[in-house]
Amino acid sequence: MKELVVNLNTGLHGDLEVPGDKSISHRSVILSSISEGTSHVHHFLASDDCISTINAFREMGVQIDLDGDELTVTGVGLHGLKEPQTKLDMGNSGTTTRLLSGLLSAQNFTTNLIGDDSLSKRPMKRVSEPLSMMGARIETTDGHLPMTINPGHIKAVKYELPIASAQVKSAIILAALNADADSVVIEPQVTRNHTETMLNQFGKDVIERDGNQIIVHHNPKLTAQDFNVPGDISSAAFFMVAATLVPNSHIVLKNVGINATRTGILDVLIKMGANVKLLNQTNSSEPTADIEVTYTPDLKPIDVTEESIPLMIDELPLVALLASRANGHSHITGAEELRFKETDRIQTVVLELQKLSIQITELSDGFSIDGSKDWRVANSSLDSHGDHRIGMTLAVAALLVDTSVQLDGEDAISISYPQFFDHLKRLCS
């Protein structure tokens, strides 16, 4: 159990470079492994989740060297993976599990995927069912891990996603690389596009987009790349929100990815009247900027609806926290997907924020929140419930109370941000 920083009257100050983007780091391992040649990845996120992806490909015969945040991958080509001699342990990583489900569906060997207790409760039918339509032969345990993927012949498909999910979309795209013809994936709303962007970096015109339709060209030639992973906006978001809410704060977060499919948290902050500026913007395939954030004493309430949820799905606990300090009533709806994350994040956010006497009500698909600055600690034992983003959200919330609080399950934060508490301490010093 970790004692959290509370009542920070001096504010957060300084510059910080947050770790590499988790979504891009995962995909850099996957695509480097199935490319031809040696890829060099800089500013890689060496978190528990991303290490699970590395270990899986090592078990399938890919040489991967990790030195700090520098990754070197000697690719084996699209058809060069080897049968693992053991079960592939996904750890806590839903991204690893779902994306590999697509790629492994097209292999000529059997794989068995396992995970920790939390991951084993997360639904896998959302990927196994569309992949089965493509010819994949997947056996789940009542829709969950453990999962067995047998050799299958992948057929081209035109598939309309029933829900907006970047992981499901990416699983289908990775399977479609090995299909017998080109495939089409249709999104109900645009979701994070790192798989498509990176595929077109590793191969020429692998992906085409026509509105909400994504065309996947089969059997592409993928060639090794040398690239930098931008800072993770989902990690930066915790400090953006902290600096917005804690008096006297002024910080600059360096080299943060601002891919348009990921910037929902910036849109929310701006709509609520926060003092946020983008500096030194780049226009590369994965655009970046330095983000300057200054304390904002009065925030407007906000209504977040289904259309914008995919642009900020991982940041919604933080949006709930922002709304808890706003001047008025806020709603977050259309976010039922939160119930299928590392925890039921709707239930967990409500349970934990109510310990700080925050007026937040659970909805079937989100939250109803009465903003107030009159918080008091009703229960000083906060709990991450094994969910990294809940843990970090509570660490930010603790900065706004004046009574000692503790966080149980703080180890979960290493899943995505091993240096989080060190970086928070640096900005608070």
Q: Is residue 226 part of a domain?
A: no
pTM of this prediction exceeds 0.75? yes
Whether 240 and 169 map to the same domain: the answer is no
Whether 123 and 134 map to the same domain: the answer is yes
Query: At 301, phi and psi to the nearest 5?
Result: -70, 165
Q: Is residue 224 part of a domain?
A: no
Q: What is the pLDDT of residues 369-394, one digit of tens each?
A: 999 999 999 999 999 999 999 999 99
Query: Quick one: pLDDT at residue 114?
Result: 98
Whether 206 and 134 map to the same domain: the answer is yes
Q: Rounded mean pLDDT of the chain? A: 96
Q: Which residues contact 69 (CB under 8 A, 6 or more apart)?
A: 19, 20, 42, 43, 44, 45, 46
Q: Is residue 274 part of a domain?
A: yes
Structure tokens at 156: 């081209």
Whether 34 and 182 map to the same domain: the answer is yes
| CATH number for 398 | 3.65.10.10
Whether 8 and 55 map to the same domain: the answer is no
Element (H, E) at 370: strand 366-370
Q: Is 68 helix (H, G, I), strand (E, B) or coil?
A: coil
Q: Is residue 222 part of a domain?
A: no
| Residue set of the binding site for phosphoenolpyruvate | 22, 94, 122, 167, 345, 389
Whether 284 and 417 map to the same domain: the answer is yes
| Residue set of the binding site for 3-phosphoshikimate | 22-23, 27, 165, 167, 314, 341
Whether 264 and 363 map to the same domain: the answer is yes
Q: Which of 368, 382, 262 is nearest to 323 (CA)?
A: 368
Which structural domain, as residue segments, surrounds residue 146?
22-217
Q: Which residues contact 260 (CB under 8 A, 6 or more apart)?
A: none
Q: Is residue 11 part of a domain?
A: yes
Query: Quick one: pLDDT at residue 306?
Result: 95
Domain final position from 168, 183, 217: 217
Would you name the residues annotated as active-site residues? 314
Domain final position from 148, 183, 217: 217
Whether 261 and 304 map to the same domain: the answer is yes
Strands 111-114 and 144-150, by their bridges, are antiparallel
Whether 245 and 338 map to the same domain: the answer is yes
Q: What is the pLDDT of residues 281-334, one digit of tens each?
A: 999 889 999 999 999 999 999 999 999 999 999 999 999 999 999 999 999 999
Whether 311 and 265 map to the same domain: the answer is yes
Measure the CA–CA gap between 193 and 68, rounded to whole angstroms: 26
Measure the CA–CA gap between 155 and 390, rounded to whole angstroms: 40
Domain final position from 217, 242, 258: 217
Q: Is residue 182 part of a domain?
A: yes
| Residue set of the binding site | 22-23, 27, 94, 122, 165, 167, 314, 341, 345, 389
When divided into structural domains, the chain yields a total of: 2
Whether 244 and 205 map to the same domain: the answer is no
Q: Is residue 389 part of a domain?
A: yes
Whether 171 and 250 map to the same domain: the answer is no
Q: What is the pLDDT along the chain (429 residues), one digit of tens a residue?
A: 999 988 788 999 999 999 999 999 999 999 999 999 999 999 999 999 999 999 999 999 999 999 999 999 999 999 999 999 999 999 999 999 999 999 999 999 999 999 999 999 999 999 999 999 999 999 999 999 999 999 999 999 999 999 999 999 999 999 999 999 999 999 999 999 999 999 999 999 999 999 899 999 999 999 999 999 999 999 999 999 999 999 999 999 999 999 999 999 999 999 999 999 999 999 988 999 999 999 999 999 999 999 999 999 999 999 999 999 999 999 999 999 999 999 999 999 999 999 999 999 999 999 999 999 999 999 999 999 999 999 999 999 999 999 999 999 999 999 999 999 999 999 998
